[in-house]
Chains A and B, each alone.
Chain A
Amino acid sequence: MEEVAKVSFMFILTGLLVGLMFGFTLQRGRY
C-alpha cells in the first residue's frame, strides 16, 4: 500500500504504549 504520511509523535507513542501495556499484562498474567 502507498505511503500516506510522516509519522507523528502520537503515532509512535500510541504504537509503543499499546505494545508496552500488552507485554506488561502478558507477563503479569503468566500467559
Chain B
Amino acid sequence: MNTAFRDVIFINDMTMFRSWLLALVIAIIGSNLIEDFGFLGDDGLRRQVFSPLAAILGGYIFGLGIVLAGGCGSGVLYKQGEGQFAAVVATFGFVISLIASFHGILNPVIKAIKSFQVSLGSGEDAITNPALWDFFGQSLTIKWTVIAIVIAIMAAIVLKGKPFSARAKKGWSWAVGGVVIGLLVIIAWWTSYFYGAQARGLSFSGPTSDFFMFVLTGNSQAPFDPMFDFFGIGTLTWSALYVIGVPIGAYISAKGLKEFKLTSPRQADELVRVFIGGLIMGFGAALAGG
C-alpha cells in the first residue's frame, strides 16, 4: 500500500496504484461472490462497526507512519525476508504500539475515539456495520449494482493511459501481482472461515498482534476471533500463522531472484525514523480497524 500511494504522489507513477486497485477489484468481486453463494456460513464476511472518526483519523495517522517506516504492516514483514534490518526495526515499533493499542495503555484512547459510531436504522434492526450498499437498500440487486459502479470506476483508473507499457525488469508485472494478491485475499477469506472459524480475510494489524502476543505471552488474546490450542504451548488464532509465513515467502522469492541480502541503513537516525514510523502506524492501524 505504501508503494502504491507513494509512487503516485512523489514520482507520478501509477503502476503500483493500478496493481493495488486491480487486487481490490478482484477481491471485492470474489469475496462477495463466495459470501453470496454461502461459502462463508451464516455470518458471511466480517464487517467492522462504522466509526467514521476512527477510520479517518486512524487512516491519516497510518499514512504518516507507513511513509516513515518504509512500508505498511505486510510491507515491513516481507522486507524482512529480503534481509532488510530497517524492516525488522520498523516491525519492532509496529508491534509495540499495536499491542499497546489493543491490550495496553493506549487501548482507552482507541476505545474513546471508536465510541463515535454511525448505525443505519434504529432498535433491533439497526445495522452497526453497514456496507456501502446498505445505504441504498438490502437486496442483492442493489448490492451488486453498487459493486458494479465501484468496480467500473476502479477499472477505468486501472486501464487509463497505457497500463501495459511499463513492465517490471525482474519479478512480476503490476497486473500479475494484482491478480495474485486479489485471489489470495479471496482464498484467505475462505480459509480463515473454514480453518480459523471466523471469516477474517487478510488483514495484518490484528493478526500481527495475535502472533506476537502468542509468542510473548502464550495467548493471542484476540478480542473477536476464535483461538485454538497449539499443542498445549498456548492459544492462537489462524491469522497469526500467516504473519510468520510472509517473511518466509519473501525470503524464498528473494533467494530465487538472487536479491536476498542482509542490509542496514548507514545512518543511525534512519533506524530511529523507521522505529518511530512503526510506532505511529501501529496506533493508526489499530484505530482505523486494520
Contacts and interface: CB of A to CB of B under 8 A. Distances in A.
Interface of A: 1-8, 10-12, 14-31
A1 to B, nearest CB: 6
Looking at chain B's contact residues, is the secondary structure mostly helix, strand, loop, or mixed?
helix
Contacts of A19: 241-246, 248-249
Nearest to B221: A1
A18 B188 contact: yes
Given A6-B228, A15-B195, A19-B242, A25 B177 contact: yes
B180 A25 contact: yes
Interface residues of B, number: 59
Given A23-B250, A24-B249, A5 B228 contact: yes
A31 B20 CA distance: 9
A22 B227 contact: no
Contacts of A8: 195
B23 to A, nearest CB: 10
B240 A3 contact: no
Interface of B: 1, 3-4, 16, 19, 74-75, 77-78, 81-82, 168, 171-172, 174, 176-178, 180-181, 184, 187-188, 191, 195-197, 202, 222-231, 235-236, 238-254, 257, 259
B177 A18 contact: no
A20 B240 contact: no
A30 to B, nearest CB: 6
A18 B228 contact: no
Nearest to A10: B195
B78 to A, nearest CB: 4
A23 B245 contact: yes
A28 B253 contact: yes
B82 A27 contact: yes
A31 B245 contact: no
13 contacts: A1-B225, A4-B226, A15-B196, A16-B248, A18-B242, A20-B248, A26-B74, A26-B181, A27-B249, A28-B177, A29-B172, A30-B16, A30-B171
